[in-house]
Amino acid sequence: MKILITGGSGQVGFELQRQLCLLGTVMAPSRQDLDLADAVAVDRWLYSHQPELIVNAAAYTAVDRAEDEPVLARRLNAELPAQLAAYCASRGQWLVHYSSDYVYPGSGETPWQEQDATGPLNVYGQTKLEGDEAVQASGCAHLIFRTSWVYSARGHNFMKTMLRLGRERDALKVVSDQVGAPTPARLIAQVTALALYKGATPAPSPLTPHQRSAHPSPAKRSPLTLHMPSGIYHLAPRGETSWHGFACEIFRQVRELGEPLAISPGGVAAISSAEYPVPAARPLNSRLALTRLEQALGLCMPDWQEQLSLTLAEVLAS
């Protein structure tokens, strides 16, 4: 099976390449090989390489810059998923697509269910929602994983920024009224792989010339038969914290590992979102209910603190 992973150089895309290689031949074209902002180039690449499964980890993720670049954000977050979904729909193939907690309005304190009303607060969230809706409207078989606060041992993310600042400064101010679950890219890729491995079907034996003449070629279809319904699933660890709580836990675990820090144990001050103005409004409530995913795959998602420990160990060992 030929698998296209878009955004292969990003945090999630990199982990997907490591997890999905057992399913088939992974194709993860670089930006030089395929400009995802160019719709014509994407069409040409698809029809030239004919992937049998598409895993779309590409996205415009610069939340604040999206306010000034809505056209590019919409191309990558909405139009590209629509284009990939149309390709998959025409061939009876699966599309895996990643979305965001930012599609919700961020009110209240109750974890969001997949069927809850959406209400993005910024351009990034709006374009991600448009991408979700386009995939659903395409008619293709799909898994849309909505996740939150993605970080990893590579790339630019909150955890790595805190590690750097914690070594340089003795005091920091971090927002404490936005609540969610920090999600490592590794976990996203592992859950994706589990969903796909459970649905993998063995390749049929080649037909003899006589069999081919007696049985005309069937219509193109996916080599996967997933045993979970097509639709939207929340993908995050269990538990919740604020950005302030996340920062404090990073520093606590790093100290336990014996790593030197300039930041003092009480040096992380909690501030409100209003005290840290940014161009794009952020949701205060990014809690995601996990029941649908856990029941579909028969698993129990791990705690966010455990996942942080694994990711920190990877960073510090490098």
Amino acid at site 258: G
- 285/128 Cα distance (integer angstroms): 17
Helix (H) or strand (E) segment spanning residue 146: strand 141-147
Question: Catalytic annotation on 151?
Answer: no
Long-range CB contacts (< 8 A, 24+ apart) of 303-307?
A: 303/237, 303/238, 303/239, 304/181, 304/182, 304/183, 304/236, 304/237, 304/238, 304/239, 304/240, 304/241, 305/239, 305/249, 305/253, 306/237, 307/182, 307/183, 307/184, 307/186, 307/187, 307/237
- 206/203 Cα distance (integer angstroms): 9
* Active-site residue identified among 60, 102, 104, 124: 124
242, β-bridge pairs: 179
DSSP symbols for 178-220: -EE--EEHHHHHHHHHHHHHHHB-PPPPPPPHHHHHHSPPPPP
The dihedral sign for the CA sequence 186, 191, 197, 199? negative
180, β-bridge pairs: 241
Nearest of 34, 129, 12 to residue 73 by alpha carbon: 129
Residues carrying an active site annotation: 124
